[in-house]
Chain A
Amino acid sequence: MSAQMKIITAIIKPFKLDEVREALTEIGVHGMTATEVKGYGRQKGHAEIYRGAEYIVAFLPKVKIDMALPEALVDRAIEAIRLAAYTGHIGDGKIFVSPLERAMRIRTGETDSDAL
């Protein structure tokens, strides 16, 4: 039985991506996938005004980052993301952690924690 692995998914403000990546690299996270996404939570979009016409933009641009980690790193990673992505304003985002059953590196065929 290999060591436990987790997937961390974080939704953050797009302009915080670089800071979050740096913070994660510092604690030893080697890779991640970033996706441009749209969504809303409590922030509930924003209003744009064009020549007096007000439009509510419900879905706001966000960045979703996914990374697979050995369980031992998870707490530090969560804290790193939280500190780096924090602005204190509404819409800073969320972090989700879920179990990861298997992993494989395509080039070498290594599996599970060796593949991370």
Chain B
Amino acid sequence: MPRVRWDRFGAALGATLVACPALAQDGGGKIDGADTAFMIAATALVLMMTLPGLALFYSGMVRKKNVLATMAQSLIATALVSLLWIGVAYSLAFSGEGAFIGDASRSLLAGIGIDTVSPFAKTIPEILFMLYQMTFAVITCALVAGSVAERMKFSAFMLFCALWLFIVYVPSAHWVWGGGFLQKMGLLDFAGGTVVHINAGIAGLVCALVLGSRVGFGRENLSPFDLSLAVVGTGLLWVGWFGFNGGSALAANSRAVFAIVATHLAACAGALVWSGLEWFQRGKPSVLGVISGAVAGLGTITPASGYVLPWHGVVIGMIAGGVCYWFCTVAKYKFRYDDTLDVFGVHGVGGIMGTLLAGVFATRAITASEGDPGVAGLLEGDPHQLYVQAIGVLVTIVWGVIGTMATLKIVSMITPLRVTYDDEREGLDIALHGEALHQ
């Protein structure tokens, strides 16, 4: 009988409660049907961002001979990271009291019963909270692939995902969301400005620098295979972002809706500013410009989305459109790094700006909750939050660089990071997967 089994899980939970005073204090949540329904939908939306959103977004921007290999990276990141997450990564990120890392008490979902709730989301089943957080880990690893698209070995990428998840993502998620030192300091990261976007962007930049440029970079035609795929992918990302940022409220409430509204407005503002700049500078607003601006706006509003007013979303989106545009069209060529699909230029730069801007625009009226006066940002006259945000950004960047370098070093001791020159020329689809797109 299942009943008996759940009792066993209940006992495990009891043991955890005793061992963990904060949890015992806060853990008495009551599962709410509306919150649960909303979070199931939000979880599905975030998974949709990787499959098929990111898979299409990325594969449309590479050359035809690398389309399948690029999709394969999103697919394998999903499969691999999901299992590792359930294995031990979730536990290390979201259980335990450590300032730097959690504990293994939730490994293989131990102690998670049908009525267990996490102290971080008291009105939904913990298993759903675990699943929702899993989709964030999945997309963060998959995002990194964009910077090394068209040249990284599939096996090396798999190893990279598995190791980087534990070296960079899990500690970062614990620091910011799982009770670690940055959360205790008061860092605001509503839906992953540091944990998802800075981490992915910095890892992308480090990977691009370590692997080196693609063959022909700066000399040959490396233009996108099919931007219509990237447009469809952007649409799925955009819609999925409603679950990403809205779901980060962890409940079906007004805050979730405010986050979604700010998110949508930021995407619109980013798209208009980026394409407007292109129009002004180049004479034509490109479709790639419109979607790049939208994604820049989405990435940048993410950390601030649940703390700001809707019109702040417009301002943040506009800043994102302008600054990310400059990084992707000027800085990249000035410094000559081949970040294939601009993971750093869009997500890294967006994440850094958004995290800082959360400290500027944080609004008491939005951040206050029962028994909590809320956070005032610089705009409301308090510079303290911006200072905390800057520390969070700095810590994430430093650890991101060190952790990604270490990960790449370990992977390179097991297998070469890059495909051979001939394989790169032939294309990764045939060379790595034995498949190709045909007419």
Contacts and interface: CB of A to CB of B under 8 A. Distances in A.
Contacts of B223: 48, 50, 53, 55, 57
Contacts of B222: 53, 55
Contacts of A51: 288-289, 292, 328-329, 332, 342, 345
B221 A56 contact: yes
B282 interface: yes
A50 B286 contact: yes
B279 interface: no
Interface in B245-296: 282, 286, 288-289, 292
B224 interface: yes
B100 to A, nearest CB: 37
B330 interface: yes
Interface string A38-68: 0000000000111111011100000000000
B421 interface: no
A52 B330 contact: yes
Contact of A57 (B221, B282, B286, B332): B221
Contacts of B345: 51
A49 B282 contact: yes
Interface residues of B, number: 16
B333 interface: yes
Most buried by A among B223, B282, B330: B223
A50 B221 contact: no
A79 B221 CA distance: 38
A13 B288 CA distance: 25
A83 B282 CA distance: 33
A55 B221 contact: yes
A50 B288 contact: yes
Helix, strand, loop or mixed for chain A's interface? strand
A51 B224 CA distance: 11
Nearest to B341: A51
Contact of A52 (B221, B224, B332): B332
Q: What band does the interface of chain A fall in when counting residues whose beta carbon is under 8 Å from B?
A: under 10
Contacts of A48: 223
Interface in B180-231: 221-224
A50 B282 contact: no
Contacts of B288: 50-51
B286 A52 contact: no
A51 B292 CA distance: 9
A21 B219 CA distance: 40
A57 B224 CA distance: 12
A50 B282 CA distance: 11
A48 B221 CA distance: 10
Contacts of B332: 51-52
Contacts of B333: 52-53
Interface in A49-104: 49-53, 55-57
B224 A50 contact: yes
A49 B286 contact: yes
B54 to A, nearest CB: 17
Contacts of B224: 50
A34 to B, nearest CB: 18
A50 B289 CA distance: 8
B70 to A, nearest CB: 16
Nearest to A51: B328
A92 B2 CA distance: 76
Interface in B290-308: 292
Nearest to A57: B221
A106 to B, nearest CB: 27
B225 to A, nearest CB: 11
Contacts of B221: 55-57
A50 B292 CA distance: 10
A53 B286 CA distance: 13
A50 B290 CA distance: 12
Nearest to B332: A52
A56 B220 CA distance: 9
Contacts of A50: 223-224, 286, 288
A52 B345 CA distance: 12
Nearest to A48: B223
A51 B329 CA distance: 5
A36 to B, nearest CB: 12
A49 B279 CA distance: 12
Contacts of B342: 51
Nearest to B282: A49
Interface of A: 48-53, 55-57
10 contacts: A49-B282, A49-B286, A50-B224, A52-B329, A52-B330, A53-B223, A55-B221, A55-B223, A57-B221, A57-B223
Sorted from nearest, which 4 A-B pairs have the closest CB atoms? A52-B329, A55-B221, A51-B328, A55-B223
Given A52-B333, A55-B221, 4 more contacts: A48-B223, A50-B288, A52-B328, A52-B332
